Amino acid sequence: MPRQAGVLLPLFSLRSARDWGVGEIPDLVPFGRWCAGAGFSIVQVLPVNEASRGQHSPYAALSAFAIDPVYLALGGLEDFEAAGGEEALSSEDRERLARVRAAPSVRWNEVRALKRRALELAFARFERDEWSRGTARARALEAFARAEAAWLDDYALFVAIHDDALGGRAWMDWPEQLRERAPEALAEARARHSRTILFYTWLQWQLEEQWHAARRAANEAGVELAGDLPFMVATDSADVWARRGDFRLDARVGVPPDAFSATGQDWGLPVYRWDAMEREGYPWLRERARRMADLYGLYRVDHVVGLYRTYFFPNDGSPPAFVPEGEEAQTKNGERVLGLFSAGARVTAEDLGTVPDFVRESLRRIEVPGYCVLRWERHWHVPDQPFRDPRTWPALSVATTGTHDTDSLADWWDGMPDDERAALLALPGLAGLRAREKAFYDDAVRDALLELVYAAGSELLLLPFQDAFGLRDRVNVPGTVTAENWTYRMPRHLGALAADLGARDRLRDLAARSGRLVGSTGGERG
């Protein structure tokens, strides 16, 4: 594989002059073009799955397949423009739109409510002028619904019942016939809620159209879109409701105790029934793999150790355990599932935290790259715990300065203890910083640290957007529930970013000198 550089930024963090308070799918096009100019050939986003109600985290999904409608751009949407566009909004909604556009962070609840009203206007126009007349666009929607029926049929029905008919009530509290998916009850619900089901189907169709248009344009600019596969969906999700046999609901997924938590972490999510999935040939996971390959050329598999052995807390209070049991069965399970995911796209493995040696050995054997995060790449069992020289990091790895869960490179530098800083500065690539007096983070520190990770032996570098610029903003603080988590927006519009030729040229030069510039010594992208 060629050496590549990519940038990581959640889709919701993009900011354009005409967005509706959140990054939108078409924004990936100008951002992708800027990235290509800056020497990046990959743009990675966090999951874009539709989030659970009341959640902002993209890792607690209502659906493993549906794109969140919040990412649909109203500007340029044919049905919205035909319905009168922004002028068709009430004066109050136009004022709300101005406020969320100018907000420094994503105001999720306001944005969702505003977009919902606008999308209902657009759908009413489609229903009247296209669907009722059986136009070419109506037939295109029908074709999309047939192609994605494996997940779309259950999803659209689920949301119609969950959100519209029952006011957001979790499916576990639905009337028994609907909860248990009695065929007569499902048929009656499909008939009763046919218009609402069509609305949600239309939404996913429009999202699909915008996504593939953006992906084609990004590819033409020389950039591939990369994604992130959440380990699990929420219990109150279309997938768990529709495929009950694939999940244990008498236990919750978590992670075992480690240096950061004496009791482990309880994520409150359902547990995979690996044995049932295997007997059926993994149809749900195969569909997930197909869907991810349809959206991305590369994606990160979240919490990859959980595919090998899933840690769970039984609801009855009995001791937590792993499933499957035993290293041999765990290796078999992980490699089989990763084989499904790797069939249609390149995959990387989020292998951070407490991961057994046999899992990392397995990843190397099946050639799935794990992560090398600068701050954690140390010889932990050697006196003074020296940092590993990034130039020695394996080619089969993803080099990075941080993740969406860590603090920024700037805050890490300024906050590190003296012994950690001394160990870092001992790296050969930081001789220039060693010669300076102890200094707070500045452009010189930023550039030295970036040059260090660009020079890593890893074939793939994925750089958080904030670290590329020396910004201090965080996407998420794990273990906390605050109004700031998952709300980060770029501090300036994409137009202003494009005009910053100095930043573009600085990053492009790093890519060129490290052999990560497509078309240079890094070779052509495969």
Peptide bond into 324 cis (omega under 30): yes
**3-state DSSP assignment of residue 461:** strand
Give the per-residue pLDDT at 519.
Answer: 62
What contacts 253, CB < 8 A, 6 or more positions away?
231, 232, 267, 268, 269, 270, 271, 306, 310, 311, 312
Token readout for 116 is 């919902």
Give the per-residue pLDDT at 437.
Answer: 76
Token readout for 214 is 């953006």
| H helices present in 470-500, as ranges | 494-499
Q: Please spell the DSSP secondary structure of 333-393, one letter per residue.
A: HHHHHHHHHHTTSEEEE---SS--HHHHHHHHHTT--EEEEGGG-B-TTSTT-PBPPGGGS
Return d(Cα 327, Cα 390) in angstroms, integer.
31
Angle at which helix 283-295 crosses helix 149-159, to 10 degrees, equals 90
Give the tens place of pLDDT for each residue, 329-387: 999 999 999 999 999 999 999 999 889 999 999 999 999 999 999 999 999 999 999 99
Largest CA distance in the chain: 76
Give the per-residue pLDDT at 260.
Answer: 65
Return d(Cα 508, Cα 503) in angstroms, integer.
8
pLDDT tens, per residue, the chain with 526 residues: 799 999 999 999 999 999 999 999 999 999 999 999 999 999 999 999 999 998 899 898 999 999 999 999 999 899 999 999 999 999 999 999 999 999 999 999 999 999 999 999 999 999 999 999 999 999 999 999 999 999 999 999 999 999 999 999 999 999 999 999 999 999 999 999 999 999 999 999 999 999 999 999 999 999 999 999 999 999 999 999 999 999 999 999 999 987 667 788 899 999 999 999 999 999 999 999 999 999 999 999 999 999 999 999 999 999 999 999 999 999 999 999 999 999 999 999 999 988 999 999 999 999 999 999 999 999 999 999 999 999 999 999 999 999 999 999 999 999 999 999 999 999 999 999 988 877 789 999 999 999 999 999 999 999 999 999 999 999 999 878 888 999 999 999 999 999 999 999 999 999 999 999 986 433 333 3
Return d(Cα 397, Cα 392) in angstroms, integer.
11
What contacts 90, CB < 8 A, 6 or more positions away?
none
Q: Which amino acid is at 17?
A: A
Phi first, then psi: give them for residue 96, nearest 5 degrees.
-60, -40
**Lookup result for tokens 């020497």:** 39
Return d(Cα 90, Cα 74) in angstroms, integer.
15
Please state the separation of Cα 172 from the chain's center in Å. 27
User: Are the CB atoms for 511 and 454 separated by under 8 Å?
Assistant: yes
**3-state DSSP assignment of residue 254:** strand
**Lookup result for tokens 């020079």:** 455
User: Are the CB atoms for 276 and 294 separated by under 8 Å?
Assistant: no
> b or e along 261-285 (b: 16 or more beta carbons within 10 Å of the residue's beta carbon)?
eeebbebebbbbbbeebeeeebebb
Helix (H) or strand (E) holding 6: strand 4-8
Helix (H) or strand (E) holding 301: strand 298-301
Give the per-residue pLDDT at 521.
Answer: 35
* Burial classification of residue 428, based on how many CB atoms lie within 10 Å of its CB (0-12 exposed, 13-18 middle, 19 or more buried): exposed
User: Are the CB atoms for 359 and 305 separated by under 8 Å?
Assistant: yes
Residue ranges of E strands in 370-499: 370-373, 397-400, 460-464
**Lookup result for tokens 């050639």:** 367
Phi first, then psi: give them for residue 504, nearest 5 degrees.
-60, -50
Token readout for 392 is 């020695």
Return d(Cα 190, Cα 154) in angstroms, integer.
10
